[in-house]
Structure 1
């Protein structure tokens, strides 16, 4: 049934980004791939859950570690990690903090408070002191081709209606995909953790010439702007790189 298949593809396309509603989104680490929120809470950060108790082989342990990395990098501004010594109030307190996180350090290189073995202390996370790039509030996104309002998240990422013609250079798009693969390989993360295809397509269509223009593209938060922004602008300015 081709119409039903197309409808299902449209549904998946429209759901690839987190909902923008003023609400709480519950998600598993697996289903959070490709999404991003201002604030992320990851609960249950204890051995047996992170990693799962049935993850025995080195490959399975590394897969669990990568999955946790995906979850932690879904946060644009704030990340909260929590765990409990007991499964329920009054239960046996035999749980331990996840071995993936016991050596978590802040920007100064010091162990984060509450993770150094003193379980009676709360977690106090110190920031880096660097000013964040604040995005200006804008009205409804409009298609740069026909001027209509953009409804779905993929359309807002691209800056145009899905039915409007694309203007990107396919060679430049492939160049950015190769660059993304190199970054993902170096960091040992899936390629979409660096940038999704929709974000890369928006970059080659809009061809930003400054960090400010790059930051205006959905999917590029302050952290990614700082990490990848200058290199992306160099790539866009010199197609031979």
Structure 2
């Protein structure tokens, strides 16, 4: 079985969630993690995972892309703290949180929000689902400063082999998504080929991050096998070994002992 460790099934592109899940399960994608993007999205995610408790899991947090200048860090963290205190057992992580060097959002605000989410994740002993664009060195610095030990996933990785090893050394898994389906993404493909298999998990980021051949279309969890096949082309291990290890990695990083 395959685990989509990052997809946004709460987005409006997915009108029929039952159909979306069934279409994915038809191609052996059986588990899904839904990271939040804004506080407004928390209740929708919690409602979805309550409706599909054997397939869906969630994460609560603030995505850096959606931060506004009106946000008050202290108030936002109070709300997240309350939500994490009363979370269901299906809420497995803090996120999607992180830093983005390519959006017009005050970087000091991004840094303060991410640092506080790292603090809460450490307090509740939850992994992080981390968004990072052009900010890997900042992410590493903040995690080290916080002495963060609960692990997590660096989502949508598109960096170099050196950056990937630094993130893995911090206890993070590397989210392998649609970028590896593009032959031109040589730097990322080389990094994914070189990393220990134990450090990788699969994700679609649906409806974003389209795989090759589906550009311009909303991405879908049922395209996770395409990413898996691209990964097999980069790895020397047997397909069954890769599949089994990816599944176990997903359980391990989300602190799921068995399923």
Which structure has more helix as a fraction of its residues?
2
TM-score (norm 1): 0.25
More strand by share: 2
- The two structures have a TM-score, normalised by structure 2, of 0.24
Between the two structures, name the one with larger relative contact order (CA 8 Å, sep ≥ 6).
2
